[in-house]
Structure 1
């Protein structure tokens, strides 16, 4: 267990859930390093590695560790959160123990997929995983992927655990979001990109936003202005980003995002099945939006 006298971890700010570049079916580590080098100096809080944006379900355990190591070597000074998932508790605990020597800031953990346990079962799931190591845990509340809804009462109960410190909020319940912010024990990070403005404006800690691979400094500025209380200036920076966010999520993530990153020469436009590339029409629309955002 973490030393109770140590300062609590801080997950505030903008975190980038990294895509995983591929070339000829294999992970393209040079492309991953280029991407990390480009994003690292933009003012972001850190990286989320092997989340859903990183197509982690299509990576085996050795590939996931290799991705994590590339990110760590490339941006040593920035903290890293590792995404983990599964539905076998014993194997998930063992994976947490295997990650223990990787100098992680946190673990991003969803409910077990498909099983749909009771609320008591969900409390046990997160508590057991948090107890398997000494790394802070961020709950990934995303019922449309897992099939499980974490109630307000369950999340407030989990907030008592000394190693459960934050939540990536994709729960779709504004009342629950506000209750967690008001409670204050869990740092609330917007997980739906379009909700990051409202979440932070109401007191949330930040966001984990795939869209922020693009226009990164502008996203960082929005959150900074909100923290400073400059609501009008933040809104002026934010509103032009909304068409970009909408277009990036009009098809399955990260297909549209990879299309634009490939167009910028950062990687190949490759995904692992069953994920598919964005259409040519969507790519062109995204390029137009990007061009409009880049005009002075």
Structure 2
């Protein structure tokens, strides 16, 4: 399996009951919706609140996602600031049907190029699956190093970069330094621009709530039709990120009846977004667009 066999990956939320305990039935239901749409699933990413979950909860998420009768691939998030813990987590995941790993730039410590090389090489060496390296400086506090890319781009487990810096300039600089690697957009609204700059696909938040529509959106972006899609999808992405992710997407999933509760783990809270009218309007616009462009 190659990560690039799948254009659209959904960074799936982790559903919970009102008391904060995992709702694994709702998680399975969401993954089945992604399977129907043909989107790969990333569990325990930023949208999945991976860093807010304890180890036992993370294990339950991986067990559930890997046990389902689905055709789509499953990727597991690996992120934090304690290297030993991340290596142990990768080793744990090896016993399940996990197809790939997402390796996040180390958090908080803000390592330089040499520290990033050591971090990612250790994780890549431990993984027995293809890996996607995730650049998200707004969350980690440090940009992915160009020097790290140039040194590790030939590693047999290093296949893809997820670029979520929000900068087309950075995207182009990274891609020029490692043309052997595939690059995915980590930003729903910027995917038309990233597609024109040479990206291969999208790791999406929006596909949680619009799995089939986002699948088509990504296909069209890869076909060069991104500019015509930009106004609609920018407006809808703005609604999905009106509050910290994944607050809005969980609220909309509950509104649609796809999960039973929009509960989050602290420090996130549903109280960040009292009015979901923009979300409901966005949902209607995307459903209308999907029907008008030929629903499956």
- 1:89 is the counterpart of 2:83: yes
Alignment match, 1:249: 241
Measured after TM superposition, the shift of residue 218 of structure 1 is: 2.1
How far apart are the structure 2 equivalents of 1:199 and 1:104? 27
Alignment match, 1:28: 23
Alignment match, 2:152: 158
How far apart are the structure 2 equivalents of 1:98 and 1:21? 22
Tell me: CA distance 1:293–1:134, structure 2 relative to 1, closer, same or farther (3 Å): closer
Alignment match, 2:186: 191
Map 1:1-296 → 2, pairs under 5 A: 9-10=3-4, 12-23=6-17, 24-44=19-39, 46-182=40-176, 183-229=178-224, 231=225, 234-267=226-259, 268-277=261-270, 278-281=272-275, 283-295=276-288, 296=292
Flag structure 1 segments of 5+ consecutive residues without an equivalent. Answer: 1-6
Preserved contact between residue 191 and residue 221 of structure 2 (Cα < 8 Å): no
Name whichever of 199-208 and 168-177 sits farther off: 168-177
Preserved contact between residue 31 and residue 65 of structure 2 (Cα < 8 Å): yes
Preserved contact between residue 11 and residue 205 of structure 1 (Cα < 8 Å): no
How far apart are the structure 1 equivalents of 2:24 and 2:251? 18
Paired positions, count? 285
For residues 23-77 of structure 1, the C-alpha deviation after alignment (integer angstroms, 9 at most, x for no partner) is 1221011111121222211132x10000110111221122112112222233432
TM-score w.r.t. the length of structure 2 is 0.89
Flag structure 2 segments of 5+ consecutive residues without an equivalent. Answer: none
TM-score w.r.t. the length of structure 1 is 0.89
Alignment match, 1:4: none
